[in-house]
Structure 1
Amino acid sequence: MSADEPEEEFSLYAHEQAVIRQAEAMLERLDEVADGVRQLARAYQDGYHESRRLVRISDRMQLDLHDANRTLSLQARELNTLNATLVKEIERREQLEQELRRIASVDELTGLHTRRHLLELGEHELKRMARHRRGLSVLLLDLDHFKRVNDAHGHVAGDRVLEHFGTLFRSALREDDVPGRFGGEEFMAVLPEIRLEAAAEVAERLRVRVAEAETQWKGARLRVTVSIGVAEVAIDESLERAIARADRALYAAKRNGRNRVELAEAELPGATEQGVPDA
């Protein structure tokens, strides 16, 4: 072997070592890549499991949402039914309230105002009269010998007479006048913006109509007359006191032969308050 051979052997060994080192480096890099692939695979697997978990949660949520929507739909239908029922109940109560107000304010037999409603309207007209000073009068009426009609023909016949009288009563008054049934066969009217003399003319017109009228009942012609007391409400006089004066005039008409109109005496200053007599 020549002197150059050891150097050549050394160079070959170094080259082999370099190749080995490169191979080892490549293996290390392959191990790193393998670790990265394994980590990526684990991450993918974890992600896959998480995705499946989220899908299951989403499916469950969709089912829950569907159930909730179905429940809400049922509740909405029930609420609509309840609302419809409530609306009907409110309408029924309003109709009942209107009917109760009508019963409280209108006499069923004659169609005139009831005593209570008549007095309420009278107080309203009294306040209006106090503001405008235009006069206010009261008529108090009683059918003469009405008991004879009931005794001879029965109470149903008497009711027909009262019903007919209610029609005659309204026809003799003005549109703004307030007629009412005061009790039994006794009636009253509040006449706004009218003085005593004009009120007496209204009363006389009514008296004549009643005297000339007939109520047909089972072939019989029933006739009644009416006595009327008239009072003009004085300034600062209460409605109750004016009614009491008209009542005294009514009893004067009864004493003087019935079927007549009597005017009440004027209110005297300092007169004591008197109650309204029973109807």
Structure 2
Amino acid sequence: MSIHDLEPQETYSLYAHEESVIRQAESMLGKLDDVANGVRVLAQAYREGYRETVRLVRISDRMQEELHAANRTLLDQAADLQQLNEVLHKEIERREALEHELRRIASLDELTGTHTRRHVLELGEHEQRRRARHGHDLALLMVDLDHFKRVNDGFGHAAGDQVLRDFGFLLRSCLRKGDIAGRFGGEEFLAILPETDLATARSIAERLCDRVRENRTLWKDHVLAVTVSIGLVTVHGDESLDKAIARADQALYLAKRAGRDQVMVGTEPDVDD
């Protein structure tokens, strides 16, 4: 092959190569435009995303402030509710104490400090049911102040009240813990002695007689003395409280007929009763 033969081919080859390079360059420039457009799109998206992020952050900050404010409000309300609850709790305790005191006052005879007739009977029924369940002893004392009318007639009802007040104290002091005493009416009293046999009940009744006999009530310039008569019974079998009280009252009547200032044991209940 001669040199002349090669030259046209080389010229053609360089030209073709140049054209190829130009086309590639143009293609790359086109791609760069695409990249630039993509960058612009990304930049725009970033700006919009940033603005949205800022907006959301601001909303979040505002919501956080509102949440803090709401939390403070709730804490304040909780403190108020706690304070109100304490006030209500104290008020409930005060009312319960007042109701308890009112029940206590309603169940007690103000003058003598013993139970009222109604309450002593309620307590007596309770002890009677307990006796029936467990089979233990139960004794009753029916007590009456002797010649009490003479005190009222001779010195006035205020003097009689003082005698009753002193007797109520003596009666309660002679009884044991768990024993029950109530004013049955006027100058008559009922004492209920749970789990007490006849001998023990009689000893308590005799001691009460002695204490009352020895006692003196000072009234103005006078010294007042009284005695008591006592009817004593123990409850038998399925005998009701009313029937046992009736037997004690009958024994009290016999004690007064026998001269007063003494203890009289009641008769046994009739079998038919």
Normalising by the residue count of structure 2, what TM-score does the alignment of the two structures yield? 0.84
**Which of 98-107 and 40-49 deviates more?**
98-107
Q: Aligned residue for 1:144?
A: 146
What residue ranges of structure 1 are gaps of 5+ in the alignment?
272-279
Q: CA deviation at 1:50?
A: 1.8
Tell me the equivalent position of 2:206: 204
In the TM superposition, what whole-angstrom CA distance separates every residue of 1:127-165 from its partner, at most 9, and x where no partner exists? 444455453221111222333433444444333221210
- Determine the C-alpha separation between the residues in 2 that align with 1:134 and 1:8: 142
Identity %: 63
Aligned to 1:234: 236
Distance 1:265 1:11 in 2: 155
Q: CA deviation at 1:8?
A: 7.2
CA RMSD of aligned residues (A): 2.8
| Residues 181-203 of structure 1, C-alpha deviations (whole Å, 9 max, x = no match) | 22332101122344445534432
Aligned to 2:112: 110
Residue aligned with 1:89, SS = helix
Shift of 1:75: 1.0
Query: 1:258 and 1:56, CA in 2 relative to 1: closer, same or farther beyond 3 A?
Result: same
Equivalence map 1:174-213=2 (5 Å): 174-196=176-198, 198-213=200-215
In the alignment, the residues of structure 1 paired with residue 58 and residue 202 of structure 2 have an alpha-carbon distance, to the nearest angstrom, of 97
Instruction: Work out the CA distance in 1 between the residues paired with 2:125 and 2:247.
Output: 16
SS at 1:141's partner residue?
A: strand
Alignment-mate amino acid for residue 152 of structure 2: N
The 1:10–1:157 alpha-carbon spacing in structure 2 relative to 1, beyond 3 Å, is same
Report the secondary structure of 1:108's partner residue. coil
Correspondence for 1:55: 57
Counterpart of 1:274?
Answer: none
Consecutive unaligned residues of structure 2, counting only runs of 5 or more, are none
User: After the TM superposition, which of the residue ranges 235-244 and 22-31 deviates more from structure 2?
Assistant: 22-31
One of 239, 260, 264 as aligned partner of 1:262: 264
Q: CA deviation at 1:233?
A: 1.7
Question: SS in structure 2 opposite 1:116?
Answer: helix
Task: Give the aligned partner of residue 124 of structure 2.
Answer: 122
Compute the displacement of 1:239 (Å).
Answer: 1.2
Residue type of the alignment partner of 1:55: V
Instruction: Give the count of matched residue pairs.
Output: 270
Show CA shifts across 1:96-141 (max 9, x none). 2321332244333322233333223323433444455453221111
